[in-house]
Structure 1
Amino acid sequence: MNKATLLELLAAVQSGTITPAAASQRLADMPYEDIGHARIDHHRSLRTGLPEVIYAQGKSPEQTTEIFTRMAASGTDVLATRADAPTASMVVAAIPAAIYHPKARAITLKQSTATEPTGHIAILSAGTSDQPIAEEAAVTAELFNTKVTRLFDVGVAGLHRLLDVRDQLTNANVIIVCAGMEGALPSVVGGLVGVPVIAVPTSVGYGASFDGAAALLGMLNSCSPNVTVVNIDNGFGAAYTAVLIARASARRS
């Protein structure tokens, strides 16, 4: 339940179209619902403006499906990250309106009323191999009603590719940059724009990249002061933070 649905519920009680007892039943699962293997935080949208998200990796398909179904029943938008194909098949069978995004390994269900997107995020990948993490970020941001511009395969090995899309960077409220190898791209982007840059180190690279640790350290040591860094392969975390920044920026403009 988010703020809008709570206000609708209270208005329905006030108008007499729903009884206080029925409204109380709707609110019975706040702030969370205990289903044994998980405690679903239905209250999170009221606190943060964004709903709880399901991390599917490590959960059985049955567990993810039950959590997804319970969250869908509350009327909120639902996102499950790091979902494999068997899990997605079970969720979509239970909730046919859900959509599986295989490259992003994400399952989404859009239930909120369609409105004009709030804020604008540009999402860059250094190479094609970084696209799954960039797609995770893009799918997350789009579900949370933010405009997304995808700019893929613009790494520093061919800097002219980045310069060719420079104009598109200036329209964004915040930029997410996904890069593996040495992780240099966020620093370059940070020097070209006057908005926050969220760097996502990916686990792409040869042996000395240490599964993304080299990119992580390079990004943490960036000389561009507008660059901040999330954990390795954390496209979701980058998008969640970027959405909040984009919303705040849009409200000020």
Structure 2
Amino acid sequence: MDTIDLQQILLQVQSGRLGIDEALQRLQHLPYENLGFAHVDHHRQLRQGFPEVILAAGKSIEQISAILRSLLQGASQILITRLAPQQAVTLQESFPAAEYHPVSQIMTFGLQEAPDRGRGLILVMSAGTSDIPVAEEALLTARIMGNRVEPIYDVGVAGLHRLLAYQEKLQEASVFIVVAGMEGALPSVVGGLVKRPVIAVPTSVGYGASFGGIAALLGMLNSCASGVAVVNIDNGFGAGYVAALINRRE
């Protein structure tokens, strides 16, 4: 339930068109609904502008379905992250409106109808093709939150001329999400070229001494470029969410 819906209920009660009992029935799941195994936060969209996001990892298909049914009572845009392909097949049997994005393992509801809330372009960049799944998680998160998002993939420092070919696009963007594994150098390079915030995302891509993304994480944390902030390893969702908040008009 968003702010407009809540205002309508209150106005209808004020005018006498809606009785107290019926209004209470509509509001019974606010601020949260207790499912026993989860407290579904129905006030999050009112507080933060976007509904609670379902992290599928570690949850059974029955738990995911129950949380999803609860959220669908009032939310138009819903995001499920880290959803395995077989879980997606099962969910789509009960929720045909769902759209599954296998590269990022994200499921969305209402992606195409997401309202336009962004001030400008969010540019999602990956150092390599192997970083694309995390980059796509960031891209879809920012997009369903109402932003214009474009990708530029496989422009890492092993061939810097590839990045420099996009100079015009780099100057157009309002926020950057830069995803890289290995030594994690790309965010520093981008940060030295642009005047907008850069959100760096280390990935677990790399050989043994990359330590599952720790090398990239430490490299990004030690960036000499100003304006670079860092999220956790493989946390494309977190990067997309922060970028959407930075880019939001209101």
Report the TM-score when normalising by structure 2. Answer: 0.94
- Counterpart residue number, 1:153: 154
Residues 104 and 136 in structure 1, CA contact (< 8 A), matched pair in contact too: yes
- Once residues 56 and 26 of structure 1 are traced to their aligned partners in structure 2, the CA distance between those partners, rounded to angstroms, is 28
Pair 1:82 & 2:82 matched: yes
Deviation of 1:113 after TM superposition, in Å, equals: 5.8
- Counterpart residue number, 1:245: 246
- Once residues 33 and 44 of structure 2 are traced to their aligned partners in structure 1, the CA distance between those partners, rounded to angstroms, is 12
Residues 51 and 78 in structure 1, CA contact (< 8 A), matched pair in contact too: yes
Residues 177 and 199 in structure 1, CA contact (< 8 A), matched pair in contact too: yes
Gap runs ≥5 in structure 2: none
- Once residues 211 and 114 of structure 1 are traced to their aligned partners in structure 2, the CA distance between those partners, rounded to angstroms, is 34
Gap runs ≥5 in structure 1: none
- Counterpart residue number, 1:128: 129
Residues 111 and 143 in structure 2, CA contact (< 8 A), matched pair in contact too: no
Tell me the SS of whatever aligns to 1:124. strand
Alignment of 1:48-63 (within 5 A): 48-63=48-63
Deviation of 1:171 after TM superposition, in Å, equals: 1.6
Q: Quick one: percent identity of the two aligned structures? A: 54
Deviation of 1:16 after TM superposition, in Å, equals: 4.8
- Once residues 14 and 211 of structure 1 are traced to their aligned partners in structure 2, the CA distance between those partners, rounded to angstroms, is 58
- Counterpart residue number, 2:208: 207
Q: Identify if the C-alpha distance between structure 1 residues 184 and 24 changes in structure 2 by more than 3 Å, giving closer, same or farther.
A: same
Q: Identify if the C-alpha distance between structure 1 residues 8 and 211 changes in structure 2 by more than 3 Å, giving closer, same or farther.
A: same
Tell me the SS of whatever aligns to 2:172. coil
Tell me the SS of whatever aligns to 1:186. helix
Q: How many residues in Structure 1 have an aligned counterpart in Structure 2?
A: 249
Deviation of 1:6 after TM superposition, in Å, equals: 1.8
Q: Identify if the C-alpha distance between structure 1 residues 17 and 168 changes in structure 2 by more than 3 Å, giving closer, same or farther.
A: farther
What is the RMSD of the two structures over their aligned residues, measured on CA atoms?
A: 1.7
Alignment of 1:1-253 (within 5 A): 1-110=1-110, 115-119=115-119, 120-247=121-248, 250-251=249-250
